[in-house]
Amino acid sequence: MILVNYFARYREQFGIGGEKIALDDSLRSVGDVRTLLMARGETWQAVLGETSLMCALNQDLCNLDAPIEDFDEIAFFPQVTGG
């Protein structure tokens, strides 16, 4: 089982802040989880397909190719800007 969290406007667009997903052999990376979620439909594809998508694995920024394990926490959020 992995925990997937959505932050900022992603949370609003999906209508949920997070969820648990059963880990299986098809889910080996953060990118695999993203692909699984994007298969849910148009909104999911539009949001998680953004080129500015940021992700974190166990609270550390990562790339989509980061390997995942059972009990990991993945977060997806829009790019943050500030001054």
Dihedrals phi, psi of 57, to nearest 5 degrees: -120, 120
CA dist., res. 32 & res. 12, Å (int): 23
Are 2 and 73 within 8 A, CB to CB?
yes
69: domain CATH number?
3.10.20.30
Residue 9 to residues 5, 16, 53, Cα–Cα distance (Å): 12, 11, 12
Q: Element (H or E) spanning 37, and its range?
A: helix 30-38
Tens of pLDDT along the chain (83 residues) come to 999 999 999 999 999 999 999 999 999 999 999 999 999 999 999 999 999 999 999 999 999 999 999 999 999 999 876 65
Query: 62 is in which domain, residue-wise?
Result: 2-77
- Number of domains observed in the structure of the chain: 1
Q: Specify if 48 maps to a domain.
A: yes
Q: What pLDDT, on the 0 to 100 scale, is given for residue 80?
A: 77
Q: Specify if 21 maps to a domain.
A: yes
pTM confidence score: 0.93
Q: Specify if 43 maps to a domain.
A: yes
